[in-house]
Amino acid sequence: MQRAGPEEAAGAQAAAGGGSAAPAGRLLRRELRLLESIFHRGHERFRIGSACPDEISCEFVPGTADRAGGSAARGPPPGPVRIHCNITESYPAVPPIWSVESDDPNLAAILERLVEVRRGDTLLLQHLKRIISDLCKLYNLPQHPDVEMLDQPLPAEQSTQEEVSSEEEDEEMPEDSEDLDHYEMKEEEPADGKKMEDEGIGKENLAILEKIKKNQRQDYLNGAVSGSVQATDRLMKELRDIYRSPSFKGGYYAVELVNDSLYDWNVKLLKVDEDSALHNDLQILREKEGADFILLNFSFKDNFPFDPPFVRVVSPVLSGGYVLGGGAICMELLTKQGWSSAYSIESVIMQISATLVKGKARVQFGANKNQYSLTRAQQSYKSLVQIHEKNGWYTPPKEDG
């Protein structure tokens, strides 16, 4: 998936028929009403679970009885394919941002192909039409007839006296009020949608999510907003997905926010391949120092998910495992060239864990712990990118894993 540049976004906004946020917001509300009327929560193929002006949660429900084709066809997944969409205030000039709760590269490819969809006023509807059609093809299912209903005219706008008064107030408010609306939307989310969003998350982690939202609101009121709406929405979604994840609940890794910042994560790798030398080293480390995990730090910028997080090893000091000086990690997917906005943070965490084992990482007992630092890791990462931009990336033979 790609981000629209300033010129491209401006062109799309002009084509959409206006530069003000209010008409675009009304158009989006009409799109959402049409979506919910077609793909309700009892729909047999595609369901809108929750929908608000900045985020949509939905799921594709693959059936088995109406599958076309023979045994060679790709079988449906064991359960629903859960899909999330974040919509920025610049919609439709800036396209919706999609993500899927799966590591299946075929699903990521479907989302990445959305850049081919021609932009227009109803970009959200056209994206969903493409997604549903491609998912039906992927799982060898017949195209559902309701998909064509996405091309019908949008329902008329339902203007009430309350909305008219609200619009008059908006005209009197400063431009920055749009950012405040973003946080208010989150608090006014429908109860049913919030229940679906929070499903499968423990009470302790729900409390963390609520604290983050409260802090964001307070930061805004104090004039100390950090990050971007786009990155914040996606990171909140990533954190919710992690809290629901079987791998997280199974103790394979843990996540802590540094100083309650959504843009700075400490990730502990608690379990690695038990047959690896690294696993044995961690057992020894527990006896020596009382810690048997690898601590990683993930740092996110305002343009996430279009740029990858900066990831480094904090402790212990490792040799091998594609870990560079300062703790930087030599992985193509952590560079702009290898990154995709469709990647989930959990998939990155699990890939790093596998890469450390594959690269025969070992704990360096007695090493100077001060040799790992953010500054040194950034320097190593910068050199790494320059080298690979010039020489490309080495792909090891299959027998090497």
Q: Which residues are catalytic?
A: 330
Count other C-beta atoms under 10 Å from residue 399's C-beta.
5
Measured distance CA(98)–CA(136) in Å, rounded? 18
Q: Which helix (H) or strand (E) holds 257?
A: strand 253-257
Q: Is the dihedral of CA 126, 98, 340, 81 positive or negative?
A: negative
Nearest one of 195, 28, 61, 193 to 136, comparing CA atoms: 61
Measured distance CA(377)–CA(312) in Å, rounded? 7
Per DSSP (E only), the strands in 6-148 are 46-52, 55-60, 81-86, 97-100
* Whole-number CA gyration radius for the chain: 23
Chain center to CA of 387: 29
Cα–Cα distances in angstroms (integers) from residue 92 to residues 22, 24, 60, 309, 319, in the given order = 12, 7, 24, 26, 48
Nearest one of 254, 212, 258 to 235, comparing CA atoms: 212
Per DSSP (E only), the strands in 284-394 are 294-299, 310-315, 318-319, 362-363
